[in-house]
Amino acid sequence: MAATLFCLSFIAGIAVLTGPVAAAGITHVLFVAGIGCVAAVILRLGRRNAWCAACAAALGMALACLAILRPGAIEQPAPAVLPPGSTQTIDGVVVDEPSRTALSTRYIVMLTAVQRSSRWATASGMLLVIDRRTWPVALHGEGIVARGTAAAPQTGASPLPRLDGSLLAIRPQTLRPPLRWLRLARRGVEDRIARALGEPHASLLTGLLTGGQDGMPRATREAFARTGLAHVTAVSGTNVTILLSAIGAALFWLPRRWRLLPSITAIAAYTILVGAGAPVIRAAVMGTLGLLVSHAGRVRHSRLAILWTATIMLAWRPLALREDVGFQLSFLAVIGLAEVAPILARHDGVVPEQFGLRDALRATIAAQLFAAPWAAAVFGTLPVFGLLANLCVVPLIPFTMLLGGIGLAAQSLHDGLGQLLFYPAWLSLDIMLRSANAFASVPGAALEVQLTTAILLAYYAGLVACILLLQRRRALANGIIPPSESRLPLEASA
């Protein structure tokens, strides 16, 4: 109980301190901390347990305050100030993965200096640099010198001011060798895929393996968005979890617990292969959490693992709870795997278990029940055929990633052999693309919706109530709790 209350208090503190009411200062912090202590006392666990719970809640709130006050935790770099229409020469550091197309390469740059009257002057702020020469390409973390025409931010695009021109120099020494090697490996993977496959197949496989979506045609991107398949084109905890489920199913001849180590080893190798970028690391953490949740013997262990993971990740980056939609959707998907997948496991006997189909189907439904409404609220679009499209496409993800990995390995040995072994991956990618386009072409495939907070609360409250009811009935049927026990499973498991 103390650990659960500590994590919940920490997450609630982060939510309040990074939310719109954060300007209220210390008053609302003390108010929320007091509410946590009162809630602990109301639990009526006895004097000793109540004091323990109150201390855990207060400690969680205090650590949330410290996480927010940590230097660099919530400060957002301001956009750079450059006179529109002027020609500028700037020096800065690339702070995100470059976005490459056939006509340009875009960099998000942290400005460090601006050349004025043949002298360099210290400067700061964020800037979008557009390189029209497209080659060479700087890596994330490298320093660059660029020259171009300054322009105001584009409406409906990036809020950063632009510098449209070309790179004059790249300073690779600003990126240390281990990170440089990893990011060069990721770029090598993306370049090999681009050489072997045409668009949109190449960008789809790149999205599955590395999270990069450069070069994907706009029509394909819109088709995936209209059918609720946008998560497929980005590395996510859900995709990694589904891939690990398929690996576990392929190792069916091993005892269940013995499959854990090979699966975690596979996810570590995959993370290193694709460059260990921030989205990939998050997906690896969430995928590993989903794997541990699926192997946990009790619901209590799964819930506590999810809470501790959220606490650790938010202590590192508090603003993720408010601004990182991928973080939000990944955790909702893992909660669905922990709570709904065991219920579905008792009713999916008609689905064949070969090739991990049953696990993939179960994970898809469980994740969509929790993540789809939140995605609809964030993006304002409700895919009518979202669940059906996911059922058609998501089971193909592990096969496509595996076949793509085989093609990459073969291409590193011989281009012709790689081209031949890439063909099965191309077929799987083509099925995914045709499925997405077919569902997206149906009139009314995506509805414009405005899900209010009240609607979301009502949906998730009803979903949680149904889950608790089904879990309680299962516990009663198995004799885990006596029929006269009136506590809910959440209270009993705590």
Per-residue burial over 59-87, b = 16 or more CB atoms within 10 Å of its CB, e = otherwise: bbbebbbebbeeeebbeeeebbebeeeee
* Alpha carbon separation from 4 to 45, 53, 298, 490 (Å, rounded): 15, 9, 15, 11
d(CA 436, CA 24): 46
For 307, the token pair is 């809470």
Identify how many contiguous H helices and E strands the chain contains and give both numbers: 19, 9
2.40.50, 1.10.287, 1.10.1060, 3.90.1690: which CATH number matches 87-175? Answer: 2.40.50
d(CA 219, CA 439): 13
Check if the beta carbon of residue 355 is closer than 8 Å to that of residue 322.
no
User: Quick check: helix, strand or coil at residue 44?
Assistant: coil
Element (H, E) at 166: strand 162-171
445 DSSP assignment: S
What pLDDT, in 10s, does the model give residues 248-268?
666 767 776 677 777 777 777
Check if the beta carbon of residue 442 is closer than 8 Å to that of residue 385.
yes
330 DSSP assignment: H
364 DSSP assignment: H
Check if the beta carbon of residue 323 is closer than 8 Å to that of residue 378.
no
Strands of 62-161, DSSP E: 87-94, 99-100, 105-116, 119-122, 126-131, 143-151
Q: What is the rounded average pLDDT for all residues in the chain?
A: 75
Max CA pair span of the chain: 84
Whose structure tokens read 């207060």? 58
The number of beta carbons lying within 10 Å of the beta carbon of residue 40 is: 23
For 486, the token pair is 């009136």
Whose structure tokens read 């995959």? 270
251 DSSP assignment: T
Please, which residues have CB within 8 angstroms of residue 185's CB and are 6 or more apart in sequence? Answer: 272, 273, 274, 275
Name the residue among 300, 382, 290, 396 with its Cα closest to residue 336.
290
Q: Which pLDDT belongs to residue 27?
A: 40
For 294, the token pair is 């699926």
* Alpha carbon separation from 324 to 23, 59, 217, 279 (Å, rounded): 21, 25, 24, 10
Specify the length of the chain in residues.
494
User: Quick check: helix, strand or coil at residue 298?
Assistant: coil
Pairing of β 119-122 and β 381-383: unpaired
* 97 dihedral zone (left: phi>0; alpha: psi -120 to 50; beta): beta
Check if the beta carbon of residue 307 is closer than 8 Å to that of residue 292.
no
Q: Which pLDDT belongs to residue 330?
A: 76
The domain spans of the chain are 2-69, 87-175, 187-448, 453-493
For 41, the token pair is 């006392």
> What are the beta bridge partners of residue 289?
none
Exposed, middle or buried by CB within 10 Å (0-12, 13-18, 19+), for 133? Answer: exposed
Q: Which pLDDT belongs to residue 214?
A: 66
pLDDT in tens, the chain (494 residues): 677 777 777 887 777 777 654 433 444 444 555 455 546 544 555 555 666 777 777 788 788 888 887 776 666 678 888 888 888 888 998 887 788 777 888 888 998 899 887 788 888 888 989 898 877 888 878 888 999 998 888 776 678 888 888 888 888 766 677 667 777 777 777 888 888 888 888 888 888 877 666 667 888 888 888 888 877 776 665 556 656 666 666 676 777 667 777 777 777 776 766 655 555 666 677 667 666 666 655 555 677 777 887 888 888 778 777 777 777 877 788 788 778 877 877 766 666 665 556 666 777 788 888 888 888 888 788 888 877 888 788 778 877 887 888 888 888 888 888 888 888 989 999 999 999 899 988 888 878 888 777 888 888 888 888 888 887 887 777 665 544 444 434 333 33
Q: Which pLDDT belongs to residue 481?
A: 52
Q: Which pLDDT belongs to residue 494?
A: 38
Please, which residues have CB within 8 angstroms of residue 281's CB and are 6 or more apart in sequence? Answer: 271
What pLDDT, in 10s, does the model give residues 154-174?
776 678 888 888 888 888 766
Quote the distance between the C-alpha of residue 101 and its chain's center: 23
Q: Which pLDDT belongs to residue 191?
A: 81
> What are the beta bridge partners of residue 429?
none
Percentage of the chain with pLDDT > 70? 72
d(CA 320, CA 314): 7
Radius of gyration of the chain (CA): 25
